[in-house]
Amino acid sequence: MNNEFPKDFLWGGATSAAQVEGGFHEGGRGPSHLDYLKHIPFAKREGKNLMQITEAEYWENKKQEEQANLAFRRGSDFYHHYQEDIRMFGEMGFKTYRMSIAWSRLFPTGTEKTPLKEGVELYHRIFKECHRYGIEPLVTMIHYDIPAYLTETLNGWENPKVIDYFLNYTKFLIDEYKDEVKYWLTFNEINMICWCPYLGGGLFVEKSHRNRLSCIHQALHHQFIASALTVKYAHDTAPNIKIGNMTQRSQYYPLTCRPEDVFLTLKNDQFNLFFNDVMVLGEYPYSILQYYEEQGITIDYVDNYEAILKAGTVDFISFSYYFTSVVNSDPEKREPVENFVKQQKNPYLQHSDWGWTIDPMGLRTALNVLYDRYHLPCFVAENGLGAVDVIAEDGKIHDDYRIAYLREHIKAMRDAIGDGVELMGYTTWGCLDLVSMSDIQMTKRYGLIYVDADDCGRGTYRRMKKESFDWYKKVIASNGQNLE
Ligand code: BG6
C-alpha cells in the first residue's frame, strides 16, 4: 500500500480576504456585505438599509457585541503586512497559499465595467511575493464577500443580474492573472447559502417575494450558473489553469443502525453531495428535484441551464473539513450540542472549545466518499483547530493541541492516499490568525502565526511564530513523513 504524499503535493495554508485583509477603506475599496455583518440587528431596529447607516451613527448606537465588527474590517491587516506574512509562509516551506480576492477592491459596487488600478496592482504584488518564495497561489474568486451595493440594491445572488456582474469580474481575473495563478476556486463553500443565506448569498430572505427556501435555491442556481460560465471561460481562455469547486463537507453518521437513522443519514448525504453533483457532473440530481417538489421550492431556471452546467464542470474537488455530524431520526430524542453547528452529540468524539467535533477518521471517510463518486483529484482546502492561544511566561505560544489536531488529520489524509484517493493538496485554515467567520472574533484562533489583535480590532498586529509553525515546517520538509 503506497501511502506517501505525492512528490508535487501542495502543502500550504488558507485565508480569505474578508478575514485577513483589512484596509477596508483604502485603495478605493468599496464596502463588502461582510463589512456589515454585525450591523444587521441595528439596521433592523432602525428600519434602515445597511449602507444608509453612517459610521458616526453606528458608533453612537454601538453595543458591546456589535463593536466586534471592527475586528472584521481590520482583519489581520494583511493589507499592510502581506510581505512579512508571505515571507513567513515561505519560511515554513509552503508550496501553495490559498487566498481570496475581494471583489469590491477591484469593482467597488460590483457594477463598474473596469476595475480599480490600485486593487489590480495590489494582487499583482501579492502574487509576485508568493512566487518569490516558490509559492503557487490558489485563488478563491469569492469567499462569501460580495459588494454591499449588490446586496442592498439587488438582494444579492437572488437577482440574475449578479451573474453578469460576477462574470465581468471573473473574466477580468482570468485575463489579468492567468500567467501568475495556476489554481483557482470559484465559490467558497457554495453550500453555506442554505444555512446562512446572508453570509453565503448576500440574501435578506425576508425581502424576497419568494418563500425562504425558494429564495435560497434561486440564488444558489444563479451561483451555479455563474460558476459554470466562469469555468468554461477559464478552460477556453487559459488551458494551463486548473479550476475547482469548494464545499463545506460534513460527513454524516447515523446515531444507530435503526433503518430510519440510516435512511435519514443517506438523505442528508444526498443533499450535501448535490452541490458537487451540479459542479462536477453538471446536473441536478433526482433527489434534489424531488426535494424541491416536496418542499414547494420553485426555481426560475436560467435559459439553457442544462447545457451551461454540463459545459462548465470543474477540474478538481475541494472542500473544507472541520467536523462530522450525527443524524438522529427521532426528533424527540435529540441531544443537541449548543454551538453554531448545532450537532447531535457524538459520544465517541472530543470537541473543540467551540463544540466542533474532532474527527480525523471522518476526513479519511470524506475523501473516500468524494473520490469514489467523482473520480477527480481532491484538495483539502480548509482544516484546522479554532482555539484560545495564550502567550506563556517564556514569551512563546505552546499550541501543542493544534499540533496534535493537525497531525491526526494529516495521518488521515495519508491513510486516504493508501486507500487509493488522488489527493492534490492541503491548506490548513487560518495559517495566519484571522477573524473567525461564525463568531466574528479574534479569540478563536487557527493560525500557525499569531497576530496581536483583539475582538474589537485593537492591538499592534505584530506577528509571532507559534510552536506549530516549526512543526509544520518539518512536516512540509519531509513531505508529510515526519509528523513528530
Ligand atoms: C469555513 C469558512 O466555513 O470555516 C471560513 O470558509 C471560516 O471562512 C472557517 O473561517 C472556520 O469557521 P469559523 O467560524 O471558526 O471562522
On the CB side of 362, how many CA atoms lie within 13 Å of its CA? Answer: 22
Q: What is the pLDDT of residues 391-433, one digit of tens each?
A: 999 999 999 999 999 999 999 999 999 999 999 999 999 999 9
Q: Locate the ligand 1 atom nearest the alpha carbon of residue 354 and give its number.
A: 15
Residue 2 within any structural domain of the chain? no
Residues 6+ apart with CB under 8 A from 32: 18, 24, 102, 103, 104, 145, 146, 147, 148
Give the distance (Å) from ligand 1 centre to CA of residue 438.
7
Tell me if 318 CB under 6 Å of ligand 1: no
Give the distance (Å) from ligand 1 centre to CA of residue 114.
31
Q: Locate the ligand 1 atom nearest the alpha carbon of residue 356 and give its number.
A: 15
Beta strand 350-351 pairing with 357-358: antiparallel
Looking at residue 36, its pLDDT comes to 80
Give the distance (Å) from ligand 1 centre to CA of residue 72.
13
Residue 46 within any structural domain of the chain? no
Q: What is the pLDDT of residues 205-235, one digit of tens each?
A: 999 999 999 999 999 999 999 999 999 999 9
Tally of domains in the chain: 1
pLDDT 10s digit of each residue in the chain, 484 long? 678 999 999 999 999 999 999 998 899 999 899 888 766 665 666 666 666 655 555 555 555 445 546 677 789 999 999 999 999 999 999 999 999 999 999 999 999 999 999 999 999 999 999 999 999 999 999 999 999 999 999 999 999 999 999 999 999 999 999 999 999 999 999 999 999 999 999 999 999 999 999 999 999 999 999 999 999 999 999 999 999 999 999 899 999 999 999 999 999 999 999 999 999 999 999 999 999 999 999 999 999 999 999 999 999 999 999 999 999 888 777 665 544 555 678 999 999 998 899 999 999 999 999 999 999 999 999 999 999 999 999 999 999 999 999 999 999 999 999 999 999 999 999 999 999 998 788 999 999 999 999 888 889 999 999 999 999 999 999 999 999 9
Exposed, middle or buried, 304 (CB in 10 Å: 0-12/13-18/19+)?
exposed
Whether 332 sits among the annotated catalytic residues: the reply is no
| Residue 355 belongs to domain with CATH number | 3.20.20.80
Give the distance (Å) from ligand 1 centre to CA of residue 316.
21
Residue 246: strand, helix, or coil: strand
Helix, strand, coil percent values for the chain (each to nearest 5): 45, 15, 40
Residue 449: strand, helix, or coil: strand
Looking at residue 35, its pLDDT comes to 84
Q: How far apart are the first and last CA of the chain?
A: 22
Looking at residue 141, its pLDDT comes to 98
Question: Whose CA is closest to atom 8 on ligand 1?
Answer: 437
Give the distance (Å) from ligand 1 centre to CA of residue 14.
11
Tell me if 429 CB under 6 Å of ligand 1: yes
How far, in Å, CA of 53 to CA of 46, rounded? 9
Tell me if 320 CB under 6 Å of ligand 1: yes
Residue 98 within any structural domain of the chain? yes
Tell me if 437 CB under 6 Å of ligand 1: yes
Question: Whose CA is closest to atom 9 on ligand 1?
Answer: 437
Looking at residue 37, its pLDDT comes to 77
Residues 6+ apart with CB under 8 A from 442: 71, 433, 435, 436, 451, 453, 454, 455
Asked whether 276 and 245 are in contact (CB, 8 A), the reply is yes
Residue 412 within any structural domain of the chain? yes
Give the distance (Å) from ligand 1 centre to CA of residue 36.
17
Q: Locate the ligand 1 atom nearest the alpha carbon of residue 248 and give its number.
A: 3
- Of 152, 189, 293, 467, catalytic: 189
Question: Whose CA is closest to atom 10 on ligand 1?
Answer: 437
Tell me if 14 CB under 6 Å of ligand 1: no
Give the distance (Å) from ligand 1 centre to CA of residue 222.
23
| Pocket perturbation via mutation, ligand 1, pick of 189, 429, 439 by most ligand atoms within 8 A of CB | 429
Asked whether 389 and 445 are in contact (CB, 8 A), the reply is yes
Asked whether 256 and 330 are in contact (CB, 8 A), the reply is no
Give the distance (Å) from ligand 1 centre to CA of residue 419.
28
Question: Whose CA is closest to atom 12 on ligand 1?
Answer: 437
Q: Which three cell numbers stand for residue 71?
A: 475586528
Residue 441 within any structural domain of the chain? yes
Tell me if 230 CB under 6 Å of ligand 1: no
Tell me if 244 CB under 6 Å of ligand 1: no
Whether 382 sits among the annotated catalytic residues: the reply is yes
Q: Locate the ligand 1 atom nearest the alpha carbon of residue 192 and give its number.
A: 3
Give the distance (Å) from ligand 1 centre to CA of residue 446.
10
Tell me if 189 CB under 6 Å of ligand 1: yes
Tell me if 438 CB under 6 Å of ligand 1: yes
Looking at residue 104, its pLDDT comes to 97
User: Domain residues for 334?
Assistant: 10-29+71-477
Residue 287 within any structural domain of the chain? yes
| Pocket perturbation via mutation, ligand 1, pick of 192, 275, 382, 445 by most ligand atoms within 8 A of CB | 382
Residue 410 within any structural domain of the chain? yes
Tell me if 386 CB under 6 Å of ligand 1: yes
Beta strand 96-100 pairing with 136-142: parallel
Question: Whose CA is closest to atom 14 on ligand 1?
Answer: 438
